């Protein structure tokens, strides 16, 4: 069974540019989460999809962040325009319905905004 796949693994952009991160969850996993870890701190929740619907987006920092999950399969997280404080590792995780607490994480996207 393929794991959670994230692309790209690294992204270096300048302040003001746009970046789109992609996540392919494990097949059959309806729950999809985005998390972010900044500078060795805690892993912070961003949002939660159940299939294509946003279940909880309370962790999204501001309206510069836009997440989509069209068709309930892969998800994208777009940051536009990027700011310096957006730098960090963005993790995607997925799980089956009813097993929401045991998340399977991708390797993350290291985003550096210069």
Partner 1 sequence: DQQVKQNSPSLSVQEGRISILNCDYTNSMFDYFLWYKKYPAEGPTFLISISSIKDKNEDGRFTVFLNKSAKHLSLHIVPSQPGDSAVYFCAARTSNTGKLIFGQGTTLQVKP
Name the residues that contact partner 1, by CB under 8 A. Answer: 4, 31, 33, 35, 40-45, 48, 50, 55-56, 59, 91, 93, 100-108
Which helix (H) or strand (E) covers residue 66, if one does?
strand 65-68
Of 10 and 15, nearer to partner 1 (C-beta) is 10
| Residue number, 55 or 80, with CB nearest to partner 1 | 55
Tokens matching residue 19: 């970046």
Q: How far is the CB of 13 from partner 1 (least distance, A)?
A: 20
Cα separation, 87 vs 108, whole angstroms: 13
Residue among 88 and 106 whose Cβ is closer to partner 1: 106
> What's 89's DSSP letter?
E
CB 36 within 8 A of CB 42: no
Query: Nearest distance from residue 64's CB to partner 1, in Å?
Result: 21
CB atoms within 10 A of CB 101: 7
Please report how close the Cβ of residue 96 comes to partner 1 at its closest, in angstroms: 11
Angle CA 58–89–48, to nearest 5:
30
Beta carbon nearer to partner 1, 27 or 101: 101
């Amino acid at each position: 069974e393929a794991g959670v796949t994230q692309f790209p693994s690294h992204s270096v952009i300048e302040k003001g540019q746009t970046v789109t991160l992609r996540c392919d969850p494990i097949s059959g996993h309806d729950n999809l989460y985005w998390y972010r870890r900044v500078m060795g701190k805690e892993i912070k929740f961003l949002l939660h999809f159940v299939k294509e619907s946003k279940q909880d987006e309370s962790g999204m920092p501001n309206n510069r962040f836009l997440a989509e999950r069209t068709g309930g399969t892969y998800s994208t997280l777009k940051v536009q325009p990027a700011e310096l404080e957006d730098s960090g590792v963005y993790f995607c995780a997925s799980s089956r319905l009813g097993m929401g607490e045991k998340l399977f994480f991708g390797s993350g996207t290291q985003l550096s905004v210069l």
